[in-house]
Amino acid sequence: MADTPHQPESTAMDTDPQPTTAHALAEPNEPQHPASDMSGEPASDAPHSPPPATADASTHGAPSTSAPGAPMTDDSAAKSLNAKEKSLAEFLLTMDDRQPLIPDAVTEYYLARTGFECDDIRIKRLLALVAQKFVSDVVTDAYQYSRVQQLGNKERKLTKKDRRAVLTMDDLSKALQEYGVNIRKPDYYS
């Protein structure tokens, strides 16, 4: 089980200009709660019980054995972390069976040119999948620019031949510019 980094909670004085309540002046090792909840209503003066320190302590009812000030985890956070790890493992297993659109030989060639060394084919396929996603996003954005331009030229009658989508350098350069890639030629070149 992975621990989440500890972030100190704010006190009532940091979030609410109202007078400080008794539970906000708790000992340094106890979590501090603001004087009001997210709805803006004042919190009751009933003492708040701190969340369980570990998933083991909350499931077995045993007191926490962690050191004071140690990071506290939550059952839901542990479950979501386990779910993420499980889905990542399942995804990596599917990378063994399925190939992305970019062939392994092409991926290996360009990775070797950049100096990337890895024997795990799943990692190489994952990088090919990322490249495929990037190209797909750029082409989709370029198509959207083309559609906007066609809608702007709606006044003139377009034949069926004129309505087909053509990837132009102008649309492609606008789409790539969103990702920080400048492919426009300089205005003046000799």
Over residues 127-168, the pLDDT tens digits come to 999 999 999 999 999 999 888 887 777 656 666 566 677 888
Out of 7-11, 150-154, 165-169, 184-188, the most confident range is 165-169
* pLDDT for position 115: 96
Q: pLDDT per residue over 55-112, tens digit each?
A: 444 444 444 444 455 455 567 777 877 888 888 888 888 888 888 899 999 999 999 9
Contact 183, 173 (CB under 8 A): yes
Contact 52, 75 (CB under 8 A): yes
Say which residue, 43 or 172, is predicted with more confidence. 172
Q: Is the pLDDT of residue 6 over 80?
A: no
Q: Classify residue 188: in a domain, yes or no.
A: no
- What is the dihedral sign for C-alpha 99, 102, 103, 106? negative
Q: Classify residue 189: in a domain, yes or no.
A: no
* pLDDT for position 56: 43
Q: Is the pLDDT of residue 186 over 70?
A: yes
Q: Classify residue 7: in a domain, yes or no.
A: no
Residue 124, domain extent: 86-178
Q: Classify residue 170: in a domain, yes or no.
A: yes
Query: Which stretch of 13-27, 157-171, 172-186 has the lowest confidence by average pLDDT?
Result: 13-27
Q: Classify residue 71: in a domain, yes or no.
A: no
Q: Is the pLDDT of residue 24 over 60?
A: no
Q: Classify residue 129: in a domain, yes or no.
A: yes
Contact 32, 9 (CB under 8 A): yes
Say which residue, 103 or 49, is predicted with more confidence. 103
- Total number of domains constituting the chain: 1
Q: Is the pLDDT of residue 50 over 70?
A: no
27 Cβ neighbours under 8 A, 6+ residues apart:
none
**Listed residue (44, 48, 43, 73) closest to 58, CA to CA:** 73
